[in-house]
Structure formats: C-alpha cells, structure tokens
Amino acid sequence: MADIKKKPTKAKETEIIDEVVKDVVVRGRGGINNFGNNKKELVKTEAQRIVASGLLQETLRAYRQPKVNNDIELAERIDKYFEMCAKTGQIPTVEELCLSTGYAESTIWDWETGRRGGFSSDTAEIIKKAKDFLKTFDAKLVISGQLNFLTYCFRAKNYYGMVEKTEVVVTPNNPLGDTSNPEELAQKYKTALPESFVEGEIKK
C-alpha cells in the first residue's frame, strides 16, 4: 500500500513560508546579500512589523497635513512638528518636516535657496532655521552614539550643505629671487654671464 503523506500542520506551513521568504530576501533579486559585505539576514518578525507600522503611521500623519498658506502658518507648523517629536520620542527628519508643511521637499528646497519665491522674504530664513535645528539634533545623535557617523556625513552633505575640502596655501615664487633692487639685479646677472658678454657686447 502506498504511503499516505500527512498534510503539514499550520505551524509547519508557517515555518516553511518563513524560510522561503528569508531565502528570497537574502539571496533573491534585490536580496541584501547581493550588496558587498552586507550579510545580515532580514527576518520577518512580529516585532519588525510593529516597528514598520509605527514608522508608517508617523509618516502618514505628516503626509496628511494640509498646505500652509503664509509664513506664520509655516513657522507654527514646523514648531508643532518639533514639539510632537519631543513628546513622542519620534526622530525628526528633513523629509518628514517638508511633508508636514503640505509641500514637496523640492519646493521647500527652492524656497530655501531662492530658486522659487516663498510667501515672503522671510520664508527662506524660517526654513534655514528649521534645518539648523535638525542639523544640531543630528550632531547630538552622532555624539551620543545613536547615529552612524557615515550616515550623518551623507545627510549633512545632502541637506545641510556640508562640504569636505582640503585647503592648500600656495605661495608664488619670485623667479628673480628675493632681490628687488634694480642695481643689485643687474650686478647679479652680469656676473652670471659668460666672459664673452660684457655690457651687451660680444668680444671678438
């Protein structure tokens, strides 16, 4: 009599699915093991889903904010965003700050840099001050060990205008040397000429 295979239990099915998902995430197309030395496996767990849900809710809250209509509303919206982050422990970001104003990040960038006119001449200063707040907070995260330094550098270059540069001081050399007196220069180069040249004439 042929063997009858038992149907796997619900727990076993879940275990099999989790293994397949893990294998796809790690080694499949776009898998994280396809990127250099990043070998950490991404395992789908309930804890990770809870974190993702919380982050999405935070982002959705900012996404649903209506557009501000003037500088006063802009300043108030930014202040409320920072206050909310301080109370809830939410990490403020440039991207989410822009969302909370009701405008795209590119629009906020244009207002800040003057490529596009804001509500008034004060709009750019309001945005710059908000970014200074975020820059300071990010620096504190790095100092306290809560933010990777390379991540900070990447964000600082993209959002805060940080530039890596090495200053080189170039001192031009005078081809005539340190001597500036015309008579001394004439005597110096006269003695350097061959004896056949005397005061511009050639001895025959």
Residue 164: the pLDDT is: 59
| 3-class state of residue 95 by DSSP | helix
List the single range of 4-8, 69-73, 189-193 with lowest mean pLDDT: 4-8
For residue 191, the model assigns a pLDDT of 67
Average pLDDT score over the chain: 75
Determine the pLDDT at residue 165: 58
Determine the pLDDT at residue 138: 81
Give the model confidence (pLDDT) of 19-76 as tens digits: 544 554 444 444 445 544 444 444 467 788 888 888 899 999 999 999 999 999 999 9
Nearest residue to 90 (alpha-carbon basis) of 61, 137, 48, 55: 55
**Given this model, what pLDDT does residue 73 score?**
98
**Helices marked H in the chain:** 10-27, 46-63, 71-88, 94-100, 105-113, 123-143, 149-159, 182-192
| Residue ranges per structural domain of the chain | 65-163
Q: Is the pLDDT of residue 103 over 60?
A: yes
pLDDT of residue 37: 46
Query: What pLDDT, on the 0 to 100 scale, is given for residue 182?
Result: 72
